[in-house]
Each structure stands twice: as structure tokens, then as C-alpha cells.
Chains A and B, each alone.
Chain A
Amino acid sequence: MAHPIWSNIFKLIGKKRSEAEIALKQVPIFEDLNRRELKGIRNIVHEREFLKGEYVFKANTPGLGMYIILRGTIRIEGEDGTEFATLSSGDFFGETALISEDKRSANAKALGDCRVIAFFRSDLLEIIRRSPVFGTKILFNLSNIMAARLKKTNKLLQETNPNFNESKYS
């Protein structure tokens, strides 16, 4: 049987990554961060719990930033209640608000009790101000995601409407 002193020391050395850190690592925006940067993000983000039926945010309110789901499911719906998507643990939403100050385009409602991580534009700006290299990494990943989404949207549009001319809209 291990002596308590030893077990305590090993607890300190091999400190397990927290649930939030593992979840952050799965999000494409944070995927290529090193351990120290990830820890920095972990210290900045807010962790919150929403009960069933509570709104994470509502449409037409000023957008603040993105959320990453740790546990539970969240429904993204229009103002009239039409469902856009249902997201579960590991998914993220609201990332456009990291860049633009536009109002939210949809409601986000908790379908069950859930736990989310919130990462906001003010935090991102603070990172950029203090360590531009680190901030650029995040911004680059963010624009990668946006570019991928745009490609996907264009493709969908072209499939549904053969007359769609991409250059006209870009």
C-alpha cells in the first residue's frame, strides 16, 4: 500500500488534466495550442451550468462569444422556435460572435441540465493584447473554421440552385 506522502506527491506531479482542458483540446479553435497556452485559456474561460429550459442566449441580443458544451444537449432555434440544430457534448456554437459584434441570430436553449464553457471576445482581445503570437494562432484557427463553413455553404447552394454563381456573391 502506498504511503499517503507518496500518493500526494504523485498527485501533484501527474496532475490529471481537468475535464474542461480535455474538452477545450477537442475544439478545433484550440487544437494546436501547447500545454501552457491551454492552461492560460483554461484560466480565462468561464464555466457555467444551465438547467433544463434555461436560455444560454437569446436572438437579437448583443453577441459576446462562443460556448463549448461539456455535458448535456443544447438546441439552437429560431425566434419562432423552429429547430436549427441540436448540439451535444464536445460541440461548440456562437463562434461568429468572437469576431463580429452583430446581434445573435438564434436562441440557444438547454434541453437538459448542462455544463458549458464560455469563451468571450473580450478574453480573446486580452490574449491578443498580451501575447500576439498566441492570439494569432487562435484567430488563424477561427478563420480556418469560417472558411470551411463558407465552402460548405457555397457547395450546398450550388447543389440546390444550379444557376448560382459564386463570384457574384463573393
Chain B
Amino acid sequence: MNRNIVSSFVENLFWILPLIAIVSLWNYILPIFVVLVISYILYIILDPLVCFIERLIGVRIISIIIVLSTISFPLYIGGNYLYDTFSSNYLDIKNYMTKVVHTSTVDSDEVIVYEDTIEHTVNNNIKNHKEIENTYDNELNRIRVLDLENLSSDIEKRILPLLPEFAKESVKSFFKEFQGDENRKKITNIISQYFNFGNTIFLFSSIGSTVMFILITISFVIMLLANAQNFKKSFIKMVPNRYFEMSLKIIDRISDQISAYIRGTFMAATIVGVLSIIALQTVCTVFNMPHKYIILVGVIAGVFNLIPFIGPIIGALSGILLFILSVDPSNSSNIESASFIIRYYHIIFICAAFGAVQLIDNLVTSPLIISDSVGLHPMFVIIVVLIGGYALNILGMIIAVPFAAILKVIVEELTWGFRNYRFS
């Protein structure tokens, strides 16, 4: 009897030992885990392409090289474009939102909170940017803080013309409240709570430089594309005979469902992004509205569409806000936008464009692309998104639903396996 327990323990070491290692070394494993997840997702997305080329030329490794070199060029161009818009807009927005003050005029609490908030959202590359001035200047004791007076008066200036007469007074009094010092501190706190990308960027920066991160990811993707079968095979080799067929079947079913889910979500996000760009461009052309950030809005809408319920709203809001930003009432040098005055129906047009995109996505593309097998109850989805938001902020909200869907698939398949196989 005693011997039986020992032998079954030894039999199960193949998964117990890795689990113990992962749990005890979790802090060190986390950054590598992120790289692994990203390369696995890339592998899932690229695998059909590689297989397609392989069917034509017959050699796996050459088809991998062809696919990777083909996609790297547009990726490079697109990444460069996004980086440029992000970094230049970041500087614009930063200069717009903040002002330089003398340290003695602000108390130290606020400075620390503010440093945490804004500085950690800047990634290292932007820090190296030549145009950026030193945020903290020791010699002059100067520091940048949120410029709420200017900000609120500016927002007031932009939004007030949109509103009907009866709402103007209440909005004016609402903006008056921003002027006080107490409120400024409160708002910096709120921003630091909800827009702290610090931990997100930490995940990437702790691996080393961005270049190192990209190189490791690319090599992982190549290895996975070349022989993902071997990873599965070497794991299966350690499974005891009793569970052999069952674990193989379960692994196959889980990986099938997860890859279908990842491909579906990727396709849906791409389609929503492209549709948003088309819809916004159409609306802006037809009604002669100036919008400088259409492609950026498309990317934001596509990425945030991964968050159910809240994502589409964020996408539409970003479209509206960036529209308001691209029409600058104080900037008369830009002739096109100087003659343009925002009316409330312009906002409605943009909302209608995003509404149409959501209709197409929810009625046509999503049902066609994403399989029903990982369907989660809407209430469960909201709970999961909220938990993800509390744990990892925006990144958490984006990965929460895929994570929950994967867990659900694993649990379901394990139950299926234990119901269908008998052990002696």
C-alpha cells in the first residue's frame, strides 16, 4: 500500500516538479512568461500562413523565412508610423497638459504622485528623444505639474459651443471646481490610479532592452513554427501509460480551441480597426470634418475592442476626443481647422460611424469568426473585466477575457477527459 503511494507520487513528478518550480520562482519567471505568451500568440497567428507557403514549396524552414521576412517590412513601416504619432503626440499632449512651476510652490506629496504617474508612462525610448526637455531640473528647482487651470479653461472653450444654452451654466460651474489646489491633488491621484502603465512597462523593461526583447521573441517564434510538435511530444513522453491517450487528446482539444479563439479574436480586432478607419474617413470626408488621427483611432479601437462592453465605448471616445483635439480653436495658423467650428452634430456623426462598425462587428463578423465553444456568460465577462482592471489596469482589462476563456476551455476539457476515460 505504502509502496503504491510512493510509486504514484514518482509517476506524477513530471507535472508536480515544474509546477513547484514555477510557483516558487514566479517573480523571475513572469517576464519570460510574457515573452512566451506573446511568441505563442504570434505562432498561432502565423502558422496558417507558413503552412500555406509550405504546401507550395514543400520545405518548412524556407517557408518560415519567407513569411517572417514578408511581414517584417509592413510591420516595420506601421510600427514606425505609430511610434512617430505616439511620441510626437505625447510631447504635444504633455506640453499642453502640464506647466513648469517652482518647487516651492507645490507640496512634495503631489510631486511624488505626479512623478509616478506621468514619468512611468513614458517609455525609455521617448526619454531619449532629443526634443524632450528635462522634466526635473535640479539647479533651477523647477518641475512640471498638471496645468489644470489652462486645461479646464481650454476644454471649456472647446466643449461649450457644442452645448445647448440650458446646459452651459452647469458645465461652467463644473469647470470652476477644477481651479482649487485640493482638486488638483485629487485628480493627480485618480490619474495615477487608473493610468499607471508603470507595471506594464516594467514587465518588458525587466527583460533587458527592447531590442533584446524583440530578438528573444523572434527566435522563440521561429523555434515554435519550426517544431512545435516536438515540445508536445517531449512533454507527452513523460506522462505515465495510464494517462497517455487521455492527456494527448486533452492537449490536442485545448490547443485546437485556444488557437481558434486567438485567431478569431485577432481577425475580429483587425476587422474592427480597419472598419473604424474606413467609417471615420468616410464621415470626415462626407461632412468635411478635419481629423488628424484617423489611423491612430483605428488602432486604438481595434485593440480596445478586445475588452467587451467597455472597449467599443473607449474606441468611440478616443475618436471624439482626438477629433476635438485636432480642431484647435486657438491655432489660427492652420487655415483648414481655423474656419471649422465643432457642432454637436459632428460628434453624433462620429458616434454613428462607430455604432455602424459595432453593428457590423456584432451581427456579421464576430458570429462568423469567433466560435461559440468558448462562450462566456455576459455577467461573468463583466466580472472578469473588472477584476482584470483592478489587478493590472488597462492591460488587465485587455487580457482578462482571453485568460478566462482559456481557463474555461482547460477546465471543460479536463472534465470531459475524466468522464470519458477509465483508469485501472
Partner of A61, one of B230, B233, B237, B420: B420
Which residues 97-126 in A have Cβ within 8 Å of B in the complex?
118, 120, 122-123, 126
CA distance A64 to B249 in the complex (A): 7
List residues 211-239 of chain B with CB under 8 A from any CB of chain A: 229-230, 233, 236-237
- Smallest beta-carbon distance B421→chain A, Å: 5
In the complex, whether A155 has a CB less than 8 A from a CB of chain B is no
Does B282 make an interface contact (CB < 8 A)? no
Q: Please give, as numbers and ranges, the residues of chain B lying within 8 Å of A57 by CB-CB distance.
A: 245
Write the chain B residue with the least CB distance to A64: B245
CA distance A110 to B418 in the complex (A): 23
Interchain CB contact under 8 A, A54 and B55: no
Shortest distance between the CB of A81 and any CB in chain B (Å): 13
Q: Tell me whether A131 and B241 are in contact (CB under 8 A).
A: no
| B174 on interface, CB distance cutoff 8 Å | no
CA distance A94 to B230 in the complex (A): 23
Q: Which of B230, B233, B422 contacts A58 (CB 8 A)?
A: B422
Q: Chain B's nearest CB lies how many Å from the CB of A119?
A: 12
- B241 near A122 with CB under 8 A, answer no
Contacts A62-B420, A122-B252 given; does A46 touch B233 at CB 8 Å: yes
Query: In the bound complex, do residue A131 and residue B55 qualify as a contact, i.e. CB atoms below 8 Å apart?
Result: yes
User: A44 contacts the other chain (Cβ, under 8 Å)?
Assistant: yes
Most buried by A among B237, B244, B245: B245
Count residues on chain B whose CB falls below 8 Å from chain A CBs.
22
CB within 8 Å for A130 and B60 given contacts A46-B236, A120-B248: yes
CB nearest neighbor in A for B420: A62
Mark out the residues of chain B between 369 and 416 whose CB falls within 8 Å of any chain A CB in the assembled complex. none
Given contacts A44-B229, A61-B245, A61-B420, contact A130 B237 (CB under 8 A): no
With contacts A44-B229, A55-B424, A62-B420 taken as known, whether A130 is within 8 angstroms of B54 at the C-beta atoms is yes
Bin the interface of chain A by size.
20 to 34
Are the CB atoms of A131 and B236 closer together than 8 Å?
no
User: Do A132 and B55 have beta carbons less than 8 Å apart?
Assistant: yes
Chain B hits for A61, CB < 8 A: 245-246, 420-422
How close is A78's CB to chain B, nearest CB, in angstroms?
A: 15
B245 touches A131 (CB 8 A): no
With both beta carbons as reference points, the residue of chain B lying nearest to A57 in the complex is identified as B245
CB distance from A138 to the nearest CB of B (A): 16
Chain B residues, CB < 8 A from A48: 241, 244
Further 5 A-B residue pairs, CB within 8 A, beyond A46-B233, A61-B421: A44-B233, A48-B241, A60-B422, A129-B51, A130-B54
Residues of B in contact with A (beta carbons under 8 Å apart)? 51, 54-55, 58, 60, 229-230, 233, 236-237, 241-242, 244-246, 248-249, 252, 420-422, 424
User: What are 27 sample pairs from A and B whose C-beta atoms fall under 8 A apart?
Assistant: A43-B229, A43-B230, A44-B229, A44-B233, A46-B233, A46-B236, A48-B241, A51-B241, A56-B241, A57-B245, A58-B424, A61-B245, A61-B246, A61-B420, A61-B422, A62-B245, A62-B249, A62-B420, A64-B245, A118-B244, A122-B248, A122-B252, A123-B229, A129-B51, A130-B54, A131-B55, A131-B58
